[in-house]
Amino acid sequence: MPFPKPLTPIDDGRTILGRSLDLIHSEFGPRAVNIVVGFQSERIVEAFPTERYIYNEQYDQTNTSKSLLRALRAVPSKDGVIWFNGDVVFDETLLARVSHFLMEEQSFVAVNTSSVADEEVKYTVDEYGFIDKLSKTVPVKDALGEAVGINYVSPRNKLALMHNLNKVGNQDYFERGIELAITTGDSNYLPVDISGFGMGAMEVDFQEDLERTNIALRGVTG
């Protein structure tokens, strides 16, 4: 791909990141958005010069755990954080539907229960309905669904997440930090099923993903 995935054009004339920013600002107002950049960062900054940026200069040596850690460190301790993977296209109603979790300061992981693929981040829950396992290594036969790359950490859970993101390996995904925080009893995260929220959320990795996403967008807006 000749450009960062968030700059992938979609059929409505925007890019993946451009559409996400429009929806985020529409729901939450003109508050600052922190965008963690690394690969070809100058192209993203040029496309969206008014946003705030956090540069991960070790982007080619680290995974999402360390990028998220940088983002959390940049936010005041009293604030919770909702974050989005940069290659995810989500339904335009999703933010309004999950906003009460933010107001109630309930940490969550958005999930899709309509499909479970072996290579995806999968989850299970405990007896109270909170997530207890969250990783790609969860067996498909045990998994209840898969994470879609939209998550929220409350102010009371943020320090524990930062501590565990700092502990995990450079190549770990941020979900490993969440799982460790849960395992140590420091945090609880609800799985929020967005399967029925219009198009839900779709990750764009390949051309066929983009084609499916554009079809879904046409179905939602048509």
What is the pLDDT at residue 1? 54
pLDDT at 159 over 70: yes
* CB of 180 closer than 8 Å to CB of 160: no
Q: How confident is the model at residue 196 (pLDDT cuts 50, 70, 90)?
A: confident
Residues 6+ apart with CB under 8 A from 54: 34, 35, 36, 37, 70, 71, 74
How confident is the model over 96-148, as pLDDT tens digits? 999 999 999 999 999 999 989 999 999 999 999 999 999 999 999 999 999 99
Q: How much is the pTM?
A: 0.94
CB atoms within 10 A of CB 139: 11
Fold held by 5-221: Spore Coat Polysaccharide Biosynthesis Protein SpsA; Chain A (3.90.550)
Phi, psi (degrees; rounded to nearest 5) at 127: -65, -15
Give domain limits for the chain. 5-221
What is the pLDDT at residue 222? 47
Average pLDDT, the chain: 94
Rounded to the nearest 10 degrees, the angle between the axes of helix 94-103 and helix 16-28 is: 50
Q: How confident is the model at residue 221 (pLDDT cuts 50, 70, 90)?
A: low
Rounded-to-integer distance, Cα 218 and Cα 198, Å: 11
Look at phi and psi of residue 198 and say left if phi exceeds 0, alpha if psi is from -120 to 50, else beta. left
Rounded-to-integer distance, Cα 156 and Cα 174, Å: 18
Rounded to the nearest 10 degrees, the angle between the axes of helix 174-183 and helix 64-73 is: 70
Q: Pick from 75, 39, 55: which is nearest to 153 by CA?
A: 75
Amino acid identity of residue 139, one-letter, is: P
